[in-house]
A and B are shown apart, each in its own frame.
Chain A
Amino acid sequence: MTNDHSAIPLKLTEHVKSAGCAAKISSADLQAVLANLSKPICPQLLAGLDNWEDAAVYKITQDVAIVQTIDFFPPMVDDPVLFGRIAATNALSDLYAMGAKPILALNLLCFPVCDFPLSVAGQILQGGASQVEAAGAVVAGGHSIQSAEVIYGLAVTGLIKPEAILTNSGAQVGDNLILTKPIGTGIGLLGHKGEILTLQASQALFSNLTTLSEKALACASSFPIHAATDVTGFGLIGHLHEMAAGANLKFSLKARQVPLLPQVLELASQGFVPAAAYANRQSFADFATVDKNLEQAMVDLLFDPQTSGGLLLAVAPKDCQPLLNSLQATGIGASCIGEFSSGAKGIIEVLA
Chain B
Amino acid sequence: MKNPNPSASDLNLDLRGLTCPHPVLSCKRALDNPSISSLQALVDDEINVQNLERLSQSQGCTFSKTTEGDHFIVLMSRTAKSTTGKLKADLPVFVDPKQSAKAAAKSNLQAQTVILISKDRFGEGEPEFSTNLLNMFLQTVLQSGHKPQVILLANTGVKLMAKGSPFLKVLNDFQAAGVEVLACGLCVDFYGLKEDIPLPQITNMFVICEYLFAAQKIICP
Interface residues of A (CB under 8 A from B): 17, 190-191, 193-200, 263, 266, 268-275, 278, 296-297, 300
Secondary structure class of chain B's binding surface, majority of residues:
helix
Q: Are A194 and B203 in contact (CB under 8 A)?
A: no
Given the complex, which residues of A lie within 8 Å of B205, measured CB to CB? 195
Interface residues of B (CB under 8 A from A): 19-22, 24-25, 28, 45, 47, 50-55, 57-59, 93-95, 97, 185, 199-200, 202-206
Select A271's contact among B52, B185, B200, B203, beta carbons within 8 Å: B52
Q: Given the known inter-chain contacts A271-B51, A271-B52, please indicate yes or no for A191 contacting B21, CB distance below 8 A.
A: yes
Separation of A106 and B95 alpha carbons in the complex (Å):
41
Separation of A216 and B180 alpha carbons in the complex (Å):
40
The 6 closest A-B CB pairs, nearest first, are A271-B51, A271-B54, A271-B55, A271-B24, A194-B21, A194-B25
- Minimum distance in angstroms from A333 CB to a CB of chain B: 18
Identify which of A194, A197, A199, A266 gathers the most chain B CB atoms within 10 Å of its CB.
Answer: A199
Select A199's contact among B47, B50, B51, B185, beta carbons within 8 Å: B185
Q: Are A271 and B58 in contact (CB under 8 A)?
A: yes
Given the complex, which residues of B lie within 8 Å of A269, measured CB to CB? 54, 57-58
- Minimum distance in angstroms from A104 CB to a CB of chain B: 36
Q: Are A270 and B202 in contact (CB under 8 A)?
A: no
Select B95's contact among A193, A195, A198, beta carbons within 8 Å: A198
Separation of A200 and B204 alpha carbons in the complex (Å):
11
Q: Given the known inter-chain contacts A190-B21, A193-B21, A199-B199, please indicate yes or no for A272 contacting B204, CB distance below 8 A.
A: no
Given the complex, which residues of B lie within 8 Å of A197, measured CB to CB? 204
Separation of A42 and B54 alpha carbons in the complex (Å):
49
- Minimum distance in angstroms from B195 CB to a CB of chain A: 13
Q: Are A273 and B51 in contact (CB under 8 A)?
A: yes
Given the complex, which residues of B lie within 8 Å of A271, measured CB to CB? 24, 28, 50-55, 58
Select A272's contact among B19, B21, B57, B200, beta carbons within 8 Å: B21
Q: Are B54 and A296 in contact (CB under 8 A)?
A: yes
Given the complex, which residues of A lie within 8 Å of B51, measured CB to CB? 271-273
A and B contact pairs by CB, cutoff 8 A, 9 listed: A190-B21, A196-B94, A196-B204, A198-B204, A271-B28, A271-B54, A272-B25, A273-B54, A296-B54
Q: Are B95 and A272 in contact (CB under 8 A)?
A: no
Separation of A296 and B25 alpha carbons in the complex (Å):
19
Separation of A272 and B93 alpha carbons in the complex (Å):
15
Separation of A193 and B22 alpha carbons in the complex (Å):
9
Q: Given the known inter-chain contacts A196-B206, A198-B94, A198-B203, please indicate yes or no for A274 contacting B20, CB distance below 8 A.
A: yes
Separation of A252 and B53 alpha carbons in the complex (Å):
29
Separation of A272 and B21 alpha carbons in the complex (Å):
6
CB nearest to A22 among chain B residues: B20
Given the complex, which residues of B lie within 8 Å of A198, measured CB to CB? 94-95, 202-204
Q: Are B54 and A200 in contact (CB under 8 A)?
A: no
Given the complex, which residues of B lie within 8 Å of A274, measured CB to CB? 20
Given the complex, which residues of B lie within 8 Å of A194, measured CB to CB? 21-22, 24-25
| 19 further contact pairs, Cβ within 8 A, besides A198-B95, A263-B94 | A190-B21, A195-B206, A196-B206, A197-B204, A198-B204, A199-B185, A199-B203, A268-B54, A270-B28, A270-B59, A271-B50, A271-B58, A272-B20, A272-B21, A273-B54, A274-B20, A275-B20, A275-B47, A297-B54
Given the complex, which residues of B lie within 8 Å of A191, measured CB to CB? 21
Given the complex, which residues of B lie within 8 Å of A270, measured CB to CB? 24, 28, 54-55, 58-59
Separation of A199 and B204 alpha carbons in the complex (Å):
8
Separation of A190 and B200 alpha carbons in the complex (Å):
21
Given the complex, which residues of B lie within 8 Å of A200, measured CB to CB? 199-200, 202
Q: Are A199 and B55 in contact (CB under 8 A)?
A: no
Separation of A263 and B95 alpha carbons in the complex (Å):
9
Given the complex, which residues of A lie within 8 Å of B45, measured CB to CB? 275
Q: Are B24 and A199 in contact (CB under 8 A)?
A: no
Q: Are A195 and B54 in contact (CB under 8 A)?
A: no
- Minimum distance in angstroms from B48 CB to a CB of chain A: 9
Separation of A300 and B158 alpha carbons in the complex (Å):
38
- Minimum distance in angstroms from A27 CB to a CB of chain B: 17
- Minimum distance in angstroms from A9 CB to a CB of chain B: 11
Separation of A263 and B96 alpha carbons in the complex (Å):
9
Given the complex, which residues of B lie within 8 Å of A300, measured CB to CB? 54
Select B50's contact among A17, A266, A273, beta carbons within 8 Å: A273
CB nearest to B183 among chain A residues: A199
- Minimum distance in angstroms from A7 CB to a CB of chain B: 14
Q: Are B25 and A196 in contact (CB under 8 A)?
A: yes
CB nearest to A187 among chain B residues: B21
Separation of A196 and B208 alpha carbons in the complex (Å):
11
CB nearest to B49 among chain A residues: A271
Given the complex, which residues of A lie within 8 Å of B203, measured CB to CB? 198-199
- Minimum distance in angstroms from B142 CB to a CB of chain A: 27
Given the complex, which residues of A lie within 8 Å of B200, measured CB to CB? 200
Q: Are A278 and B55 in contact (CB under 8 A)?
A: no
Q: Given the known inter-chain contacts A196-B94, A199-B199, A269-B54, please indicate yes or no for A17 contacting B24, CB distance below 8 A.
A: no
Identify which of B51, B97, B204 gathers the most chain A CB atoms within 10 Å of its CB.
Answer: B51
